[in-house]
Amino acid sequence: MGAENPIGVSHRGHVSKAKIEVMIPSLIYWALRRLLELIVLRLRSDAANQVEILILRQELMVLRRQVRRPRCHPADRALLAGLGRWLPRERWGSLFVRPETLRRWHRALVARRWTYPHRPPGRPGVATGVRSLVLRLARENSNWGYRRIQGELARLGITLAPSTVWEILRRAGIEPAPRRASESWREFLCAQAAGMVACDFLTVDTVLLRRLYVLVFVEFATRRVHLAGITANPTWEWVTQQARNVIGDLGPLKFLIRDRDAKFSKSFDDIFRSEGIRIIRSPIRAPRANAVCERWIGSLRRECLDRLLIFGQGHLSHVLDEYIDHFNRHRPHRSLDQRAPQDGNQVPKTAVATWIGIHRRDRLGGLLHEYELVA
């Protein structure tokens, strides 16, 4: 019993703030409960108290034969330490603990009362948020070393030693620059996609077996689709005019990817070259070289055109306008973190929604469904 350490107290006499907050209500409850029991005992007759004392002593003897070392809660220790001070020395034998244990419990209560929060020795630790920020800067900037990261933190008002930044990176398994300077294919392609656009023709056969040609442009970075025009006779003059119409809607570009279709004439290429855009022609019979545009055409056919009968050019224009607006404003994209092309800079709404709070909007007669949270 003498070597037992009170719950919540370390060998140095310190106790955590959380444990104190948990123990204080327990001590108050036990004190009030014992106070009420004392009042009840004072109101009872002496004969009844003496009989109860004899019964309790006999129960105590039985328990001592069965339990070698009783386990006490902090409230039990506080109560025994407090009442033991009032008990005469010749009656201390009735307690199941030794006198020095009671005194030790009392000293622990006093030490706990006068223990103040303190900081452990050594350098203070780095906050979890700062550590996460260091790792984020290292991941998002592969050519930054620990000195560059430390300087960026200082600009943000976060004071951190360069050696601390180096230690955080080392423990996370991130090597300092220039070993991390080699970028991945994903990073390379994302950087190149900012100035690239692809174009291609697709054909649609109407109910009367009339073939219509559709010219579309797809931006690599945002996956935004532009409908250039629809015609049954794609001459070089028409194609050149569509290039003049659509080039103003495209962002700053460096490269235009197209196949070797004869409909793309020299005048078509000159429109883009005049804006400093380089024309890249895909190899012969290699649709995968223009994969972004081919993928969009496949989605258009699977989700829309293969499930409709097109009656004419006007009908096709309406269908394509509806689908492209749905594609650009609502349809989620895995390459854009499940966001729509024109909403790529917006953070998705987080809400716990039920089916009652979801509104469905139908497009193209219910062929396309769009879901939104009810305001």
pLDDT tens sequence across 85-115? 666 666 656 665 666 666 776 777 777 777 6
Lowest mean pLDDT among 186-200, 219-233, 288-302: 186-200
In this prediction, residue 7 carries a pLDDT of 41
Cα distance between residue 23 and residue 8, in whole Å: 9
In this prediction, residue 84 carries a pLDDT of 65
Tell me, what amino acid is at 149? I
pLDDT tens sequence across 156-189? 888 888 888 888 888 888 876 655 555 565 666 6
In this prediction, residue 67 carries a pLDDT of 67
Assess whether pLDDT exceeds 60 at residue 117: yes
In this prediction, residue 183 carries a pLDDT of 56
In this prediction, residue 118 carries a pLDDT of 65
In this prediction, residue 25 carries a pLDDT of 74
What CA–CA distances, in Å, run from 294 to 199, 257, 303, 333, 343? 9, 12, 14, 15, 23
β-pairing verdict for 368-373 and 225-231: unpaired
pLDDT average, residue stretch 186-199? 75
Mean pLDDT of the chain: 78
In this prediction, residue 225 carries a pLDDT of 94
Q: How many CB atoms lie within 10 A of CB 340?
A: 19
- 185 backbone dihedrals φ, ψ, rounded to 5°: -60, -35
CB 214 within 8 A of CB 239: no
Name the pTM for this structure. 0.53
Cα distance between residue 121 and residue 335, in whole Å: 49
DSSP for 106-134 reads: HHHHHHHHT----PPSSSPPPPHHHHHHH
- 278 backbone dihedrals φ, ψ, rounded to 5°: -90, 135
User: Percentage of the chain with pLDDT > 70?
Assistant: 70
Higher pLDDT, 133 or 178: 133
CB 260 within 8 A of CB 281: yes
pLDDT average, residue stretch 7-21? 49
Query: Which residues touch 169 (CB under 8 Å, ≥6 apart)?
Result: 134, 135, 138, 146, 149, 175, 176
In this prediction, residue 286 carries a pLDDT of 86
Largest CA distance in the chain: 120
In this prediction, residue 205 carries a pLDDT of 94
Q: Where are the domains positioned within the chain?
A: 17-113, 123-182, 191-346
pLDDT tens sequence across 20-72? 666 677 778 777 877 877 777 677 777 776 766 767 766 766 766 676 667 77
Q: Where are the alpha helices (DSSP H) in the chain?
A: 17-43, 46-66, 74-84, 99-113, 128-140, 146-155, 162-171, 185-193, 236-246, 266-273, 291-303, 313-329
Cα distance between residue 74 and residue 311, in whole Å: 85
In this prediction, residue 375 carries a pLDDT of 61
Higher pLDDT, 200 or 43: 200
Higher pLDDT, 238 or 284: 238
Query: Using 50, 70 and 90 to split pLDDT, how confident is the model at 17?
Result: low
Assess whether pLDDT exceeds 50 at residue 245: yes
Query: Using 50, 70 and 90 to split pLDDT, how confident is the model at 372?
Result: confident
Cα distance between residue 86 and residue 148, in whole Å: 69
Tell me, what amino acid is at 332? P
How does 21-38 read in b/e, with b if 16+ C-beta sit within 10 Å? eebeeebeebeeeeeeee
CB 265 within 8 A of CB 258: no
Yes or no: domain 191-346 corresponds to CATH 3.50.50.60: no
Assess whether pLDDT exceeds 50 at residue 353: no
In this prediction, residue 8 carries a pLDDT of 42
